[in-house]
Chain A
């Protein structure tokens, strides 16, 4: 206690007093001619003062202040690029973190998200599949769960303000919001027990988009149509943070099944149907239960169900995933690869800073050696250098926060974020990002700060005092670091060029669909008297080349397309009596294939004679042919729906993407529209010139037929291809941006190393020039050094680049992981950058004055 108070005495005063005391001592000794030996003055001061301090904390503060003077006043030329490098690295990582966090990582804004679990069904053909309503009921009763809720994505038309709008619906079990612990931001959610007719809850973004954020919306009535029109009451509005369960999306309307029946004309039997596996199941674990227990119980259940319902549940397994694991699965490769790439950029930035600091240590050798000679221990010097690193890191963090804010503000303008992420403003800098940034900062300070501190405090100080350079034969640390930097840059740039090549491929390569001028108009069939006269009328419009129709246009984002449980009569594994297999399908007009560029591979396409009166026929995709008849001709085989209808296969066509560009082709079959009409359809018009120009004309023609028809929703195939391929563009944009950053940082790093190298060889260059070497030759010598370093770095980086390419193979389209042009482009770019970085030092070396160079020590 006493010590504590004593220590509070001003440090400055103690220091002054000690100084005075020592001065007196020396004066006395000198006066008396007394041979009392002098100690090392600095050591005496430090040792005596050390006693008075809250030791290292104060030391560190002092080191920081010294560092600040050193850095900001004397070495700004080193400090500024180091802080800039680091700030760019930190800023970019934080921005990418925010992006991934908004998309995948942020937990659902519900009560106790750590006790949430997701239940999926896995089969041999599909993992993480959804469940049937009866399965949901059985899972909800598992002992480990305190409850479970089901949700099913749907769509309907909102009839409001005289114009129809397509709205997305999540049809969820009554207990859904109670289970999650979600409250309404406005009004209330359903499930509180009171029953007052069909009610819906509005998603936050839908509330803003459709109703302009009307604060009195609760209690109002909406008119919705899904088959039949019905009135529903708005109960409340969800908070902005609440999203779709799948983590990134948002839904417009949330309603219990009863409400959905009121607008769809009732589909009660769906709740008994084990074939309809379209329910997404979410459960809450009891406080003492674990995911592992729940998984064991779910396994017991699926074994029992396989016995009770062999038709639907043979080889069907349940998987229970914690919410965190589920989100990590969703983030998947893209998330991991992006994180890896950010790490690479950070590594490059750290090497830069490390190198700049090492350079500073080298040029401060004399200062450090003097400090050591007057009694500063190696630990003391290391601490001083480390304090400077911390200072640099702190400055970089402040600047990095600015960069992060800027990027987060700019990225949405450059990169089209997934719509919901933007709408919900999930892409933002927040406390989570701050925690991430802080961890990155600590890690980077350790990474770049340790090497200079270690080397600066090294034992070889006396050698340095004498001005000795690095020994021969061994590559200096800084060159080795630069090598590493080039290696990491190669991997980074290869990743960027691979993604860029993929993106270009989605733009101009073969995606399985023709790039024709096609206009789509989505219509509900209830509004249409007859399709044929309509098609004829549209065919006659000027500028229309060809007209057809389909249940769904490919890539229209309707959520996977419809699938049908079918048998394949005569097939060993899927014949009659076997469990049915769900296969996606489309119902299309005769001209569909030609318009979409889907090619005939075998048999025939649909013909005009395949109409209502003709025999029922189907055309299957290549993937379906390969899956079910690998060694057989599928033409002539039959597809039988569980409901009774059957089709004869007449042809095999090329695979076309259904949901997104670049997806793995899955079995798919087509029926003729006239033999298998559906409740809604999309008109397809191939046009001369830009399809969007025809919209007013088509709209007018539709209005003439029926006034309601002008509410058709238009899109063009070009838009759909761009939208459904946007992940390639996004990935290419993000990673190229990081690649540009990486190459700038590498250029700075290489420049530093080469300039340093040239400076160290000044004397040698002077001698060479005195002996008759020309300026050009000298410049070449410096440039060669840069190229050698880079080439060695490229060789070193090749395995890393290949590993990166392998890790991101699922993000590529149309280019293999081993894509020589991409590797070549990356290496070439690095070499060009190396020459650029060597330019200034080389020119400077060429103008070295031999006399001056040899005189200067």
Chain B
């Protein structure tokens, strides 16, 4: 159980975070969750309950693809990687996010 509640992610931002994490190379689900957790300075925790449905949704959208591989500790694991379509999506989503967060900052600054 987390001691402090992790901030709820805005709808759609999880997809962006996943895609961003996957830019570092193919990863399995647990590694994705860990990467986001660490990159956010341990602020964001991704529940598997949101992670796996999101991964499957992205896969069906064609933004990522999956394949079975072997993990560092010799276990069978499913690896995800970004497709070309996914890269385009990242660019687009990043622009949207920047616009959005800048706008929110501006609102809160006044």
Which residues of A come within 8 Å of B, CB atoms?
2-3, 6-7, 17-18, 20-22, 24-29, 31, 34-40, 43-44, 47-48, 51-52
Is there an interface contact between A37 and B47, defined as CB atoms closer than 8 Å?
yes
CB of B45 closer than 8 Å to a CB of A: yes
Closest chain-A Cβ to B83's Cβ sits at a distance in Å of 11
Is there an interface contact between A47 and B53, defined as CB atoms closer than 8 Å?
yes
Is there an interface contact between A52 and B56, defined as CB atoms closer than 8 Å?
yes
Which residue of the partner chain, among A17, A24, A35, A39, contacts B28 with CB atoms under 8 Å?
A24
Chain A residues near B56 (CB-CB < 8 A):
18, 48, 51-52
In the complex, chain B residues 41-81 whose Cβ is within 8 Å of any chain A Cβ: 45-50, 52-53, 56-57, 59-62, 71, 73, 75-78
Is there an interface contact between B47 and A22, defined as CB atoms closer than 8 Å?
no
Tell me whether chain A's interface is mostly helix, strand or loop, or mixed.
helix
Known: A24-B28, A48-B53. A36 touches B45 (CB 8 A): yes
Which residue of the partner chain, among A18, A28, A35, A47, contacts B1 with CB atoms under 8 Å?
A35
CB of B26 closer than 8 Å to a CB of A: no
Chain A residues near B57 (CB-CB < 8 A):
51
Chain B residues near A7 (CB-CB < 8 A):
60
Is there an interface contact between A37 and B29, defined as CB atoms closer than 8 Å?
no
Known: A18-B52, A24-B28. A6 touches B60 (CB 8 A): yes
A731 to B57, CA, bound (A): 64
CB of B97 closer than 8 Å to a CB of A: no
Is there an interface contact between A22 and B75, defined as CB atoms closer than 8 Å?
no
Is there an interface contact between A25 and B48, defined as CB atoms closer than 8 Å?
yes
Chain B residues near A43 (CB-CB < 8 A):
49
Task: Provide a sorted-by-A list of 13 A–B residue pairs whose CB atoms are within 8 angstroms.
Answer: A3-B60, A20-B76, A20-B78, A24-B28, A24-B76, A24-B78, A28-B71, A34-B34, A38-B49, A39-B49, A39-B50, A51-B57, A52-B56
Closest chain-B Cβ to A27's Cβ sits at a distance in Å of 7
Is there an interface contact between A2 and B62, defined as CB atoms closer than 8 Å?
yes
A38 to B45, CA, bound (A): 11
Number of interface residues of B (CB under 8 A): 28
Is there an interface contact between A27 and B75, defined as CB atoms closer than 8 Å?
yes
A435 to B37, CA, bound (A): 61
Is there an interface contact between A35 and B2, defined as CB atoms closer than 8 Å?
yes
Chain B residues near A27 (CB-CB < 8 A):
75
Chain A residues near B34 (CB-CB < 8 A):
34
Chain A residues near B1 (CB-CB < 8 A):
35, 37
Is there an interface contact between B60 and A51, defined as CB atoms closer than 8 Å?
yes
Is there an interface contact between B78 and A21, defined as CB atoms closer than 8 Å?
yes
Q: How would residues 15 to 51 of chain B score, 1 for a CB under 8 Å from any chain A CB and 0 otherwise?
A: 0000000000000111001100100000001111110
A35 to B2, CA, bound (A): 7
A689 to B33, CA, bound (A): 104
Known: A6-B60, A24-B75, A37-B2. A51 touches B53 (CB 8 A): yes
A18 to B37, CA, bound (A): 22
Is there an interface contact between B49 and A22, defined as CB atoms closer than 8 Å?
no
Chain B residues near A6 (CB-CB < 8 A):
59-60
Closest chain-B Cβ to A114's Cβ sits at a distance in Å of 51
A27 to B45, CA, bound (A): 17
A250 to B39, CA, bound (A): 91
Is there an interface contact between B60 and A52, defined as CB atoms closer than 8 Å?
yes
A39 to B49, CA, bound (A): 5
> Nearest residue in B to A17 (C-beta to C-beta)?
B78
A2 to B75, CA, bound (A): 30
Is there an interface contact between B49 and A21, defined as CB atoms closer than 8 Å?
no
Closest chain-A Cβ to B22's Cβ sits at a distance in Å of 15
